[in-house]
């Protein structure tokens, strides 16, 4: 079931919310949790009921394993349980990938399993690993099966995150099932949901038409990309995936607030980042937190204590990002995307280490505005360039993009530039392989893209780089938010904390109504098909 579907918005959500509070008021805490668990299972199995059996099996095995870990503290059992989860994920997500690559490398003809990928398997599997580690460390006591299942299956985060941890949500569920109804939190949740809905339907889905047109033409083998076409496609996709996934995360925050639960923040203006390090502190923050705590730290401990090589830290960063890429999907394009970000992170860390050795330690709050702007430009275009291989169907398609983006096919300038540059400059540039042909616009971008499309992309880039984000506007902060200092150029000019944020006033009621009503035409159109990008992962 999709958050943006008619059945979810007009049937499932009202019944779930009313039923939860009615159960809590009349039958008590346990009945309310049971209702929430049943609603979440219905939500998950709505389109394909057999997946409910898989998720129930996963919950049962992990709960029993965690209970045994609490009793014994056995490290071998912990390794076995984590291995079972990774094997479960690996079978459904990577079995066919492994078989296809084995056949290709060794010339074999092993049949693949034609295995369907269950929705949200990467998210709900990873959410159980922290619980197993916590049980091994004896952090949890007297956690019943129902509460365990409700935490993991709570429908707002079940399919595409954020990746939540039991220790954060379980205490809130206890309070949510006993405290009085909080009208302010409920209203804040409705506003969050409406903003996310607007982001997804109005912005991300409309960007999808432009992105699919550019990438689809390349994948079909009948496109000659100009420099502008390639960058337009890359930036448009970067905006699409941001508004799509951050929209989902904000809808999830809003839905949780309707039940009295506060989810961790998953996005904090990632396209304001002035370095790759800062980008990953702002993008998909709950996933980054998971890999830092359960990949980076254990590898640092395991390798660092056995190695005298000071560069092991950079190797671990690269390995972690390689796994981040692999987590996103069973395909080499995603692996290359993760590895590219790993390489960029290593370069960024080496740059900071070099500055420290030179006696110029990195201090984001003391950077000049010009330095912040330069860092933002470099980071933004590096991230956009990496999105190409993430979105491309295969490496051949990505190659077409990169050749156009970085002038691998040669530099082309319009004919009229000859008069502006002069004959001497023309001779020099021609000798360097620069060609002069066509008009100004057609030289850089295909005329089939309208001025409105181009203006929309430029406006959205300015918006994500300069304006406050939803978290700031809503005044929604949680202890999980990264404490690292950010240094975006816009944040250097404006203190967003001093701006008025959300209040339960008639102005916000009107704004929320507009944001909710704007996507309704698309939602009510049965022919309009929409899906969240991260459902693929």
CA dist., res. 257 & res. 271, Å (int): 26
| Contact yes or no for 464/239 (Cβ under 8 A) | yes
DSSP state of 365: G
Structure tokens, 388: 């190409």
| Helices 297-304/312-328 angle, 10° precision | 140
CA–CA dist 470, 223 (Å, integer): 38
CB atoms within 10 A of CB 431: 8
Residue 328: active-site member: yes
In this structure, are residues 316 and 299 in contact, taking their beta carbons and an 8 Å threshold?
A: yes
- Structure tokens given for 475: 């005044």
CA–CA distance, 166 with 264 (Å, rounded to integer): 12
Looking at 114, 328, 341, 349, which residue is catalytic?
328
Q: Give the integer Cα–Cα distance in Å for 451 and 456.
A: 8
N residues, the chain: 537
Task: Say if residues 481 and 268 touch (Cβ distance below 8 Å).
Answer: yes
Separation CA 241–CA 236 (nearest Å): 9
Task: From 449, 416, 413, select the one nearest 230 (Cα to Cα).
Answer: 449
* Residues with catalytic roles: 328
């Amino acid at each position: 079931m999709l958050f943006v579907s008619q059945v979810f918005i007009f049937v499932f959500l009202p019944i779930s919310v009313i039923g939860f509070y009615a159960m809590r008021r009349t039958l008590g805490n346990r009945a309310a949790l049971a209702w929430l668990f049943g609603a979440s299972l219905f939500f998950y199995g709505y389109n394909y009921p057999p997946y409910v059996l898989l998720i129930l099996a996963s919950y049962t095995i992990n709960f029993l394993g965690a209970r045994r870990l609490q009793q014994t503290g056995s490290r071998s059992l912990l390794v076995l349980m984590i291995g079972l989860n990774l094997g479960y994920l690996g079978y459904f997500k990577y079995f066919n990938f492994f078989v296809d690559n084995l056949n290709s490398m060794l010339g074999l003809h092993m049949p693949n399993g034609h295995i369907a990928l269950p929705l949200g398997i990467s998210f709900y599997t990873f959410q159980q690993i922290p619980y197993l580690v916590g049980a091994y460390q004896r952090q949890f006591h007297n956690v019943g099966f129902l509460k365990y299942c409700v935490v993991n299956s709570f429908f707002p985060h079940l399919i595409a995150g954020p990746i939540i941890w039991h220790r954060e949500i379980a205490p809130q569920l206890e309070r949510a099932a006993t405290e009085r109804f909080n009208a302010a939190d409920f209203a804040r949740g409705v506003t969050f949901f409406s903003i996310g809905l607007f982001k997804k339907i109005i912005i991300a889905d409309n960007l999808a038409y432009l992105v699919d047109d550019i990438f689809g033409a390349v994948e079909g083998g009948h496109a000659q990309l100009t420099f502008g076409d390639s960058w337009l496609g890359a930036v448009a996709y970067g905006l699409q995936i941001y508004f799509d996934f951050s929209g989902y995360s904000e809808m999830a925050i809003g839905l949780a607030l309707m039940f009295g639960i506060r989810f961790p923040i998953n996005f904090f203006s990632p396209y304001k980042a002035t370095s790759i390090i800062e980008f990953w502190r702002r993008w998909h923050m709950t996933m980054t937190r998971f890999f830092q705590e359960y990949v980076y730290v254990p590898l640092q401990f395991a390798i660092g204590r056995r190695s005298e090589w000071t560069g092991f830290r950079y190797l671990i960063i690269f390995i972690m990002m390689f796994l981040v890429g692999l987590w996103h999907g069973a395909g080499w394009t995603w692996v290359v995307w993760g590895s590219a970000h790993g390489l960029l992170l290593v370069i960024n860390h080496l740059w900071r280490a070099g500055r420290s050795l030179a006696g110029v330690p990195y201090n984001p709050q003391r950077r000049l505005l010009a330095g912040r702007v330069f860092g933002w430009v470099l980071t933004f275009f590096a991230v956009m360039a990496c999105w190409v291989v993430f979105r491309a169907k295969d490496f051949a398609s990505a190659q077409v993009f990169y050749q156009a983006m970085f002038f691998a096919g040669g530099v082309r300038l319009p004919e009229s530039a000859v008069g502006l540059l002069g004959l001497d400059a023309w001779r020099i540039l021609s000798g360097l392989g620069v060609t002069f042909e066509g008009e100004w616009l057609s030289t850089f971008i295909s005329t089939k893209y309208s001025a409105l499309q181009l203006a929309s992309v430029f406006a959205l880039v300015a918006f994500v780089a300069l304006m406050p984000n939803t978290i700031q506007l809503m005044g929604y902060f949680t202890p999980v938010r990264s404490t690292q200092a950010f240094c975006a150029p816009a944040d250097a000019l404006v203190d967003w904390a001093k701006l008025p944020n959300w209040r339960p006033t008639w102005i916000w009621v009107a704004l929320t109504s507009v944001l909710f009503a704007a996507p309704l035409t698309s939602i009510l159109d049965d022919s309009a098909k929409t899906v969240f990008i991260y459902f693929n992962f």
